[in-house]
Amino acid sequence: MTLQIFDSDRMNSGETVTAITDDKVNAVECLGDTNMDASQLYPLHVSTLQEIIDDPNKLKGKRSEMRYEPFRLAKNNELSSVAYRRLIAAIDWVEHLSNLLGGLDVSDKIALVKNAFAPLMVFKFASRTAEVAKDTNILCLCNFAYVPRNISQAFSDSYHLGNGLVDRALDELVQPYRTYGLREEEIVCVSAMIVLNPLARDLSTEAFNKILEMRNKIEDTLFTIIKEARNSEHPAICFGRILLSLPVVTVSCYDS
């Protein structure tokens, strides 16, 4: 299956998801490309985001494995490493989707990464927590650990997870996702839609048009998946519920 499959107007939903989740990209994002502990990898020794976008090889060997598990309480000093790892994941998503778009300028890639980092992180935390945890008072991170609802009491510095973000994610995202039972293909499509935000600040007009077209295709694919995979008489309602969660994801990030 080639990455150019997204250029076809005849692709089906399975092909679209396959294109988005190219096996090599998925393996790098989840399994990482190193056995080193995150504490030895982060912070990244770069001055600007552009340095990485200009030379993606700077991230080689910097991707720790990501896994969401509800068994271990995260340590306070791990939270900053989680942020770095999720930043790398956002960069990888942008690079992969950029290839499917036929390429984007460096400035447009930077705009997408800046816009997608926080919402993608919150969505992944929420959707994976709904998938693996039954406890309604924990939010699973990507480092085999979780944080409690009362994070400000548990940690001296909650970093990017402070100001009510955990509470809001648990109540307004995790619980609905748990009830709904998001499927893997749905999580993939929503992740791509978060990254491909045509309203991202500082996007060029050319990038806007490319991104809008692809995002519309992914939305169509998401609806097809829901209609075909879920035995529902009202697929449009299911589709709408997923889409309505996206503003909550965004607001949770920027209110925190």
For the residues 185-209, what does the mean pLDDT come to? 95
pLDDT > 70 in the chain, percent: 88
Residue 135 in any domain: the answer is yes
Cis peptide before 43 (omega within 30 of 0): yes
pLDDT of residue 256: 59
Total residues belonging to the chain: 256
For the record, the structure tokens of 93 come out as 């998503």
- Let me know the angle formed at the C-alpha of 49 by 208 and 19, rounded to the nearest 5 degrees: 50
pLDDT for 97: 94
Q: What pLDDT does residue 234 have? A: 87
Tokens of 173: 């995202």
For residue 4, is it within any domain?
no
Q: Is 1 within a domain? A: no
Give the rounded distance of the alpha carbon of 251 from its chain centre: 15
Whether residue 78 lies inside any domain: the answer is: yes
3-59 pLDDT, tens per residue?
333 443 445 555 666 676 555 555 556 778 899 999 999 999 999 999 999 999 999
pLDDT for the residue 214: 93
pLDDT confidence band for 124 (50 / 70 / 90): very high
Confidence check: pLDDT of 156 > 90 = no
Residue range 193-215: mean pLDDT, rounded = 96
Average pLDDT estimate for 116-121: 97
The enclosing domain of 55 has a CATH number of 1.10.565.10
Residue 5 in any domain: the answer is no
Q: What is the average pLDDT across 201-230? A: 93
* Rounded Cα distance, 246 and 67, in Å: 23
In a domain, 44, yes or no: yes
Please give the residue range of the domain that contains residue 240: 11-255
72 falls within a domain? yes
**6 part of a folded domain:** no
Q: Summarize pLDDT for 219-249 with one digit per residue, the tens.
A: 999 999 999 888 778 889 999 999 999 999 9
3-state secondary structure the chain: CCHHHHHCCCCCHHHHHHHHCCHHHHHHHHHCCCCCCHHHHCCCCCCCHHHHHHCHHHHCCCCCCCECCCCCECCHHHHHHHHHHHHHHHHHHHHHHHHHCCCCCHHHHHHHHHHHHHHHHHHHHHHHHHHHCCCCCEEECCECCEEECCHHHHCCCCHHHCCCHHHHHHHHHHHHHHHHCCCHHHHHHHHHHHHCCCCCCCCCHHHHHHHHHHHHHHHHHHHHHHHHHCCCCCHHHHHHHHHHHHHHHHHHHHHC
Q: What is the pLDDT of residue 253?
A: 83
| pLDDT digit string, tens, across residues 64-101 | 999 999 999 999 999 999 999 999 999 999 999 999 99
What pLDDT score was predicted for residue 10? 45
pLDDT of 11 = 52
Distance CA 218, CA 15 (A): 11
Domain count of the fold of the chain: 1
Question: pLDDT tens-digit profile of 44-70?
Answer: 999 999 999 999 999 999 999 999 999
